[in-house]
Every structure is written in C-alpha cells, then in structure tokens.
Amino acid sequence: MRRLIAALFISLIAAAPAAHALVKYDEGRLEIKGVQFLQDAVDKSTYYYLPTAPRLATTEDGSLSFVAIKYVDVAGTASGGLFHCLVEFTLPPETVEALQKELEKKVPGAHIAGPVPLMAAEKKSEDQPGSFEVV
C-alpha cells in the first residue's frame, strides 16, 4: 500500500506543470529605448518586456476595440453614457521586432519571449473580488 501511495505521489509531482515566465527582477535587467527587459530565471538568453503603458486593443481588421454609447431620455433632459474598451499590455509587433534587433546587439543570441505575463488576482470574496487598477 505504501508503494502505491508513493508511486501516486511521485507521478503527481512529475505531472505538475512547470512554472512559466519566472523572471529575475534585478540581475539581467536591461532597458532598451525606454522599455525594460527582465531576464528569464532559467534561460539567460530569454527576455520578457514590461510595456511602457497600456494601449487600446485592435480588432483583426486593425480598428480600435472600444464602444462609446450615449443615452438620452425621450424628453431630452437626462443623459448619460458608457465607454467600454479593451486594453492590452503589449507592444506592437513592429516595435518588438526593432527591440529584438537592439537586444541582440547588447546580448548576442538573446530573444524576446513576449510581455511579462500578469497573473490574475484571485477572487477573495463576494464583497472583495479580484481586480486590476490603472493609476
């Protein structure tokens, strides 16, 4: 029975997914054209970038992904509105390509893996859901 439990435990550990995109915050950090790059914790030739600012997402045809709606009552006395947009914490592909060339000049053989992935906040409770703030 102990062998069965030990085998099950070892198989669970082996099947667990590896951590992705763990970065070093101090060692290996670079700044190129105002964009910060953080080195991967395991692979020294892999870098992730921190976008300089959020940007409006685009649709497949290249137009901006937002909706603006204005509400007016029938009498025209009350009004309001809604603005909804999707933002991304990425850089445009052409910017990433230019940064890749600059990164290779500073660190031969290095490559950009993408933006540093943000982890979603866990929902704490019904009164205090997970959130993200832009200040």
User: How many residues make up the chain in this entry?
Assistant: 135
Q: Where are the chain's structural domains?
A: 20-53+90-118, 55-88
**What tens digit of pLDDT does each residue of 99-120 get?**
999 999 999 999 999 888 766 5
> CA 2 to CA 91: how far, in whole Å?
52
pTM of the predicted model as reported, rounded to 2 decimal places: 0.59
The residues facing 32 across adjacent strands are 35
Strand, coil or helix: 19:
coil
Strand, coil or helix: 79:
strand
Whether 111 contacts 30, CB under 8 Å: no
**What tens digit of pLDDT does each residue of 39-78 get?**
998 899 999 998 888 888 888 888 888 888 888 888 878 7
